[in-house]
Amino acid sequence: MNTLMERAIVEALFAYMEKKGINQNGLAQMLGWAPSDLNDTLKGRKGIGKNRQTFLEDRLGELFRDELLLKINEISGVKKMQTSRIAEFPSKYKAGKGVITDLEQKYIEKLLAIFRGINQQAKLAVKSTIDALYPHRKDKNEIETS
């Protein structure tokens, strides 16, 4: 493997297969690839460019994207945070009862950096996106009212 990203993708694919309980043939079938192509990719004999990465993320979904982010952080030596943190949010949030996962914490920190930064267009873009998506949240993410 040549790049950090290729290594992270391969490790994320192995983690994905483990969590899904599938083998290489099953993954190759899900991707619509020949088993030999997947094997070459996993062994580092076949490169993984942006197009293949995008394809994998689209085809395998959120679980794979989460694994990929974790692997990038691990490989690049980014200090791991605690597995969860107690939030300073009201306990009326259903999911996690106020516990924030590492992934959530990472994005909270990024959002704060944007909101506290000087780029007004970035702030507007984030606020508009949140306002557009918030009404479409799933029931399990809704706030309980007591």
Question: Of 3.40.50.300, 1.10.260.40, 3.30.70.3170, 3.90.650.10, which CATH number belongs to 4-76?
Answer: 1.10.260.40
How many whole angstroms separate alpha carbon 68 and alpha carbon 2?
A: 16
Closest alpha carbon to 70 in 106, 32, 121: 106
Q: For the full predicted model, state whether its pTM sits above 0.75.
A: no
SS3 73: helix
Domain boundaries, the chain: 4-76, 84-137
pLDDT in tens, the chain (146 residues): 578 889 989 999 999 999 999 999 999 999 999 999 999 999 989 989 889 999 999 999 988 988 888 888 888 775 444 444 444 444 444 445 556 777 888 888 888 888 887 888 888 888 888 888 877 766 545 544 44
How many whole angstroms separate alpha carbon 74 and alpha carbon 69?
A: 9
Give Cα 89 to chain centroid, integer Å: 23
How many whole angstroms separate alpha carbon 138 and alpha carbon 70?
A: 25
How many whole angstroms separate alpha carbon 25 and alpha carbon 62?
A: 21
